[in-house]
Amino acid sequence: MENILTEEKYEEIWKSMNQLSQLISKDIGRIIKLSCILNMDAGGKRFFEIISDPLPESFFGIFSKMIVSAKICSWGSTIRKSGTIVFNPHFSYKYYEGGSNGSAIYDGLGHPLKYKYINNEWVRNREWYEKTIKSGSF
C-alpha cells in the first residue's frame, strides 16, 4: 500500500483538530483540546496520533483518588488500509500504584464514539461502526 499520508494531508488534518475537538467536546459534555502528532513507523510509513491535553482532575469524579493522570488519545490505527482516516477516542489513564489502563468512550446509548474524516471535516460515524461490526472487519 502506498503511503497516503502526504505532508499536505497531514497539514489538512492538523488544521482540523479544532473542529474535531468541538465535536468530541459536545459528545462527551466536557471541553477537550485535541492535537495530532506526525510519526513514522519502522517501514518508513507516516502515521499520526491524536491526543488531548492532560485532562483536569475535575473530570475524574469519584475516581480522583485513584487516577494520577489521564488523556484522550487515538486507539488503533488512524489510517485504515482503504485510506480512510478515523479517530477512535480512548480514555487512557495512569493510577497511583504506577499502572495504566484505558477504555473506549461511549455515548449515552452504549455505542463507542467513532469519528471519520470525510470531505475535509470530521463526522461522528455510528453507521460506519455498526456496518464494520456486522461485517466482522473491525
> Domains of the chain: which residue ranges?
7-135
Q: Which residues pair with 100 in a beta bridge?
A: 94
Cell numbers found for residue 79: 489510517
pLDDT in tens, 45-84: 888 899 999 999 888 888 888 999 999 998 877 887 777 8
Name which residue leads in pLDDT, 85 or 1.
85
Buried b (16+ CB within 10 A) or exposed e, 50-80: bbbeebeeebbeeeeeebeebbbbbbeebbe
Q: What's the whole-model pTM score?
A: 0.81
Name which residue leads in pLDDT, 17 or 127.
17
